[in-house]
Amino acid sequence: MIEAELKARVRDPEGLRRQLRERAEEEIGVYQDTYYDRADGSLTAEGRELRVRVVDRNGARRTILTYKEPAVDEESGSKPEHETTVDDPAVVGTVLRVLGAVEYVRLTKHCANYRFTASGRDMLATVVTVPELDGVYVELETLTSEDELHDALGAVRAVLNELGIPDADLTTEQYTDAVLRARA
């Protein structure tokens, strides 16, 4: 499946969260993301991502291993995504290192998630802050096939517009790149 996603900077975070709360229950969580790459950096250079994410939400912890292929839509950065839950992030990290992966970057995201349906599609809106970065972001996504990507992105864009997020605020900048730049 492809994660048809648009990300934008948010000018009015509280106003956005208020509107999203009208659509769905708010789920607060903290994500601890560790990204891995090959020693030569080739995964990142090819636009691929290999991530272990530990999600802490309401006292419950869940770990997800994610592999993202290169973007199939350059304008949005939407990528095919493969995920599975795992029991122990330390074990997965050990396996990845034994296979030659190295830690690329580790970062924390504070997230408020909202799940709802729009245009007949299941949507996930996530309002994100990253302690090392200025500003607040919103990610809006729906899962789709490559054949329906254009329509799915149109539905995502329409919801963002309804929420008062203009196209001018969209960004494809990766959190990993922004965090590495902030640390430099």
pLDDT at 21: 98
Integer angstrom CA distances of residue 114 from 79, 108, 145? 21, 19, 22
pLDDT at 92: 97
Strands (E) across the chain are located at 2-10, 26-38, 49-57, 60-68, 79-86, 101-118, 121-129, 136-144, 170-171
- DSSP 8-state code for residue 133: S
Low-confidence ranges of the chain (pLDDT < 70): none
How far apart (Å, rounded) are the C-alpha atoms in residues 53 and 35? 9
pLDDT at 45: 97
How far apart (Å, rounded) are the C-alpha atoms in residues 93 and 148? 34
pLDDT at 149: 97
**CATH superfamily entry for domain 2-183:** Hypothetical Protein Pfu-838710-001 (2.40.320.10)
Q: Domain residue spans in the chain? A: 2-183
Q: Encode pLDDT of 84-134 as tens digits.
A: 999 999 999 999 999 999 999 999 999 999 999 999 999 999 999 999 999
pLDDT at 20: 98
